[in-house]
Homo-oligomer: A and B are copies of this chain.
Amino acid sequence: MTEARADGRTYDQLRPVTIEKGWSEQAEGSALISFGKTKVLCTASFTPGVPRWLKGQGKGWVTAEYAMLPRATNDRNSRESVKGKIGGRTHEISRLVGRSLRAAVDMSALGENTIVIDCDVLQADGGTRTAAITGAYVALAQSIEWAKANKHVPTKATVLTRSIAAISVGIVDGVPLLDLAYVEDVRAGTDMNVVATGDGKLIEVQGTAEGQPFDREELDRLLDIALAGTATLTELQNEALKA
């Protein structure tokens, strides 16, 4: 576990992370986030009102859509709009992002308002879904500030009940690694995405054996480094939000 990784990182080290709040000038909240070469543009669109099935309950709604530009990857993929349907992976990640963000929001405090988070991957090098969640939180937080400043939500309402951040971990050649780049991801025997709160509790744990099954000890080691990673991301989110 002492050997450096392809890009020189230690096993429990994040790639360089940047979070640029407000990158999109027209959205109520936005962030351009990078985990190494992975770049995701997250926007939050705040609109008064909720979908019909939720009307009259005094609660808000938060949902998310994740997508990838066709040439975000090494080889170009067909556009889902051209194919006329959304792939399973896109659906699955959109649902994960939305569910994770909803865990950070008090819907009653939000009131009958809707926030749609769009996470568009501009460049992909592994960890796009965890970068998306981490950046989406910043866009979400900015949009809630906007909503308070614009009187859509009472200034004193505690709409955000906690912060969330996400990171991928995996076992490569028997070694648990934090924040897998694409070249590591394809070699990982076990692959796990962890969404955690700012104070280290779990929102979502998705571990998958790509080759050999894993045991509970391995699960524990992966969780250890993942939670250290999300703690660092939480600090970076806070800095970005203060900027």
**Does chain B have a CB within 8 A of A134?**
no
* Residue of B with least CB distance to A123: B24
Contacts of A155 in B (CB 8 A): none
Number of copies of this chain that the complex holds: 6
Choice from B81, B90, B202 contacting A67 with Cβ under 8 Å: B81
Interface size class of A (residues with CB under 8 A): 35 or more
The interface bits of chain A over 60-77 (1 if a CB of B lies within 8 angstroms of the residue's CB, else 0) are: 000001010111111110
**Does chain B have a CB within 8 A of A25?**
yes
The interface bits of chain A over 38-50 (1 if a CB of B lies within 8 angstroms of the residue's CB, else 0) are: 0001010101000
Contacts of A86 in B (CB 8 A): 81-82, 85, 88
- Taken together as a complex, chains A and B put the C-alpha atoms of A70 and B64 apart, in Å, by 12
Contacts of A76 in B (CB 8 A): 45, 47, 116, 118
* B88 contacts A85, C-beta separation under 8 Å: no
* A43 contacts B71, C-beta separation under 8 Å: yes
* A209 contacts B26, C-beta separation under 8 Å: no
- Taken together as a complex, chains A and B put the C-alpha atoms of A9 and B196 apart, in Å, by 33
Contacts of A206 in B (CB 8 A): 205-207
In the complex, besides A26-B74, A30-B71, 17 extra interface pairs with C-beta distance below 8 angstroms are: A43-B69, A45-B70, A65-B79, A79-B81, A81-B81, A81-B83, A85-B85, A86-B88, A88-B91, A201-B214, A202-B214, A202-B215, A202-B216, A203-B208, A203-B213, A204-B207, A204-B209
Enumerate 11 A-B pairs (CB-CB under 8 Å) in ascending A order: A24-B71, A69-B118, A85-B85, A86-B88, A88-B95, A89-B95, A202-B207, A202-B209, A202-B219, A206-B207, A216-B223
